[in-house]
Amino acid sequence: MPRTARIPDPSYELMDGHEGHSLIYRQHGFPCPLVRWHFHKEYELHLITASSGKVFIGDYIGNFSPNTLFLTGPGLPHNWISQLDEGELVAKRDMLVNFTDEVLERGTAVFAELKGLAPLLARAPFGIEFHDPSVIRAAGELMAKIADSQGMTRLGHFFILLEQLAATEDYQLLSGVTSSELADEHHVERINRAVDYIFQHYPQELSQEEVAEHVGMTPTYFSRFFKQATGRGFVEFVNRLRVSKACELLSKSDKPVTDVCFESGFSNISNFNRRFQQLKGMTPSAYRKLVVQRLTEQNLY
């Protein structure tokens, strides 16, 4: 049976690997202790190289698969949870580059060319997913060069990478809530208990009262707390998670829309169609056709 790793308690991640360097490169597999709901002061450029699953960035819920590329800003909570078969391990799932505001602010004071990165960095607090296959492919190649180099050479690859990301117009802003509103350890820790429970149970019937009881709150208090912490009401949050699952099924299987509806956690087809249209701006059938069209176009190049 497929399994989804449990979302652990979120935390602030203190990166101690700078050691006088301008950026940090890391890569890891899954499961891994580094995979958790967390935030940090650094920007994070995150390339998935293997496995598929759910991505949580701020109040955004979506899907990831190999060759998906994200940029998160300072203080923006994030996590990528792979959906694997029981006992399955992924040796190398992620390639990451972390860097701080200080590096670019001080660099811009000396090198005027770095001012061209300002629009990209201004978008990062909301989280960005890049979609252009050529940009993602180039990013993977440059991140590999960053991993294999040091000193000025590594820094050169890094700035070429940022320049290409800043130039692309094929991207999506993800979170409706900024990092400053979410980067609170106390709130992130408490809301994670609720989100963890929702994530494990959303394909079944799930009520706000049930989740409130799980985290030891009254339904009224939980309702206010949840919306304040996530920026979304309980019902909307669950619907977004279910629509995200539906998008995954529509794009990766040929299951009838009715089967997708119930497997995603919706109890009737009319509500499913209404919520899907509301969040995606199209019907489930139209979404599937669009995915097929995009895949066909990509295979032509």
CATH number of the domain enclosing 52: 2.60.120.10
Boundary-marking domain end, from 173, 193, 223: 173
Pair (262, 209) in one structural domain? yes
What tens digit of pLDDT does each residue of 35-79 get?
Answer: 777 788 899 999 999 998 889 898 888 889 999 999 999 988 888
Lowest mean pLDDT across 1-15, 47-61, 109-123, 198-212: 1-15
What's the CATH code of the domain at 226? 1.10.10.60
Listed in sequence order, the DSSP H helices in the chain are: 101-110, 118-123, 133-147, 151-167, 179-182, 185-201, 208-214, 219-230, 234-252, 257-263, 269-280, 284-299
- Which amino acid, 55? V
Pair (20, 156) in one structural domain? yes
- Are 263 and 271 within 8 A, CB to CB? no
- Residue 1: the pLDDT is 40
Pair (158, 228) in one structural domain? no
Residues 6 or more apart whose CB falls under 8 angstroms from that of 211 comprise 194, 197, 198, 222, 234
Residue 29 lies in a domain: yes
162: nearest Cα among 134, 121, 199: 121
Residue 192 lies in a domain: no
Residue 190 lies in a domain: no
Pair (83, 148) in one structural domain? yes
Pair (224, 90) in one structural domain? no
Pair (155, 221) in one structural domain? no
Boundary-marking domain end, from 127, 153, 173: 173
What tens digit of pLDDT does each residue of 199-228 get?
Answer: 888 889 999 999 999 988 999 999 988 887
Residue 301 lies in a domain: no
pLDDT band at 6; cut points 50, 70, 90: very low
How far is 213 from 191, CA to CA, in rounded Å? 13
Number of domains in the chain: 2
Pair (23, 131) in one structural domain? yes
Pair (142, 262) in one structural domain? no
| Torsions phi, psi for 151 (to 5 deg) | 60, -145
Residue 99 lies in a domain: yes
Pair (155, 44) in one structural domain? yes
Higher pLDDT, 207 or 32: 207
Mean pLDDT of 87-106: 90
How far is 129 from 183, CA to CA, in rounded Å? 20
Pair (208, 153) in one structural domain? no
Residue 191 lies in a domain: no
Write out the residue range of the structural domain in which residue 104 sits. 2-173
- Residue 18: the pLDDT is 57
Residue 194 lies in a domain: no
Higher pLDDT, 6 or 26: 26
Residue 45 lies in a domain: yes
Pair (43, 96) in one structural domain? yes
